[in-house]
Amino acid sequence: MSTDSDSDATDELARDRLIDLAGEFYDQFAAGNVPAMEIPTRTKSNIVFDEDKDVWVYGDRTSTRSANSVRGAQKLLKAIYTIDFLAEQLDQDRSSTLRELYYLSESWDEERAQFSDQDESNQLVEDLEIVSEVTREDFHMRPEESGATIMGPLYLREQTRRGEREIHCQEDVGEGGYQIPNNPDTIEFLDHDADFVLCVETGGMRDRLVENGFDEEYSVIVVHLKGQPARATRRITRRLNDELDLPVVVFCDGDPWSYRIYASVAYGSIKSAHLSEYLATPTAKYIGIQPEDIVTYDLPTDPLSDSDINALESELDDPRFRDDYWTEQIELQLEIGKKAEQQALASRGLDFVTDTYLPERLTEMGVI
């Protein structure tokens, strides 16, 4: 939910958190200590399942960014300049992309505060997200990647720079659907007539569902993931689940890369486990293509490549996939040595997916 005054309050809070952070460095200096910033270690071995919040978060291991070396001192200098820039950006109600921040640093008077490459500025913004507990979107940092589209019985209000827009995601949009904005927290859900949310990996399958009227017949909000989903896409999926209490199912190709797409929707990514609560939808279920479906529906397949096999083995080793369902499916896939795309269902006819496959799977899963 986001009204004008709400978004002002969010901006104010983000700005305060940033300035507090700068204040902490100041206090460390004043107390005669070497300023430092402590950050959770961001590796697979340091993510743990938070039973309360039902999401994967960082564990106890931390790394320290300290000014006790020239390199460390420069990192904190860059942090201060970035905080200054972000605080001003929030004050003026402007926004910018991560890439613009990198280039903008070239205009800073203190040359040693300038970023040497974009990885450095990206990493710093992530560090600031973690320590300030404010998301990048609330710093008004836009991603390069745009969100995907929505089609379904959902009526929403989006707060744009040009005023409010009320849009029904079936009646007021073209065949292409409603384009998710970079920051979906500018959206307020007004009304809906949906029974569940179906996230779809490929554009071809998204278009098939829309052409076949699946969103109308089954009262479903179809969210196009467009491959590995952007943060905006994951955020709105989480909000649809959270605020409208709608079950979420994820429909991808049947290969290890697609299981990672599902994982990024359901569990969040390792790189941004600090955002799991904001981006992940822990109750999201995987509908298919399951390795089991390859057998059951006798789908056209491709053989697993060496990199597919490695990826599957690495998933068996990933805490997020460590349950009976995934172990069984992944082991089955390694055994049959095959993968299948979601559009392979077309080998049974163009309507097979909407008339047979999805209804059968949704019934099995208890969604319909």
Among 95, 122, 123, 356, binds its own copies (CB under 8 A): 95
Kindly write down the DSSP assignment for every residue of 203-271, as one continuous string.
Answer: HHHHHHHHHTTHHHHTTEEEEE--SSPPHHHHHHHHHHHHHH---EEEE--BSHHHHHHHHHHHT--ST
Q: Does 160 bind its own copies (CB under 8 A)?
A: yes
Q: Does 239 bind its own copies (CB under 8 A)?
A: no
Q: How far is the CB of 187 from its own copies (least distance, A)?
A: 8
Which of residues 171 and 245 has its CB atom nearest to its own copies in the complex?
A: 171
Stretch that binds its own copies, among 65-73, 208-216, 259-267, 313-321 (CB under 8 A): 208-216
Residue 216 marked ligand-binding: no
Which of residues 159 and 276 has its CB atom nearest to its own copies in the complex?
A: 159
Q: Does 72 bind its own copies (CB under 8 A)?
A: no
Residue 103 appears among annotated catalytic residues: yes
Q: Report the amino acid identity of residue 115.
A: F
* Cβ neighbours of 139 (radius 10 Å): 27
Per CB under 8 A, contacts with its own copies among 173-192 are: 173-182, 186-187
Decide if 112 contacts 74 (C-beta within 8 A). yes
Which of residues 136 and 274 has its CB atom nearest to its own copies in the complex?
A: 136
Q: How far is the CB of 331 from its own copies (least distance, A)?
A: 26
Per CB under 8 A, contacts with its own copies among 317-346 are: 341, 343-346
Among 59, 300, 319, 359, binds its own copies (CB under 8 A): 300
Kindly write down the DSSP assignment for every residue of 151-177, as one continuous string.
Answer: ESSEEEEEEETTEEEEEETTTSS-TT-
Residue 188 marked ligand-binding: no
Output DSSP code: residue 317: T
**For residue 61, with 0-12 CB atoms within 10 Å meaning exposed, 13-18 middle and 19 or more buried, which class applies?**
exposed
Active site residues: 103
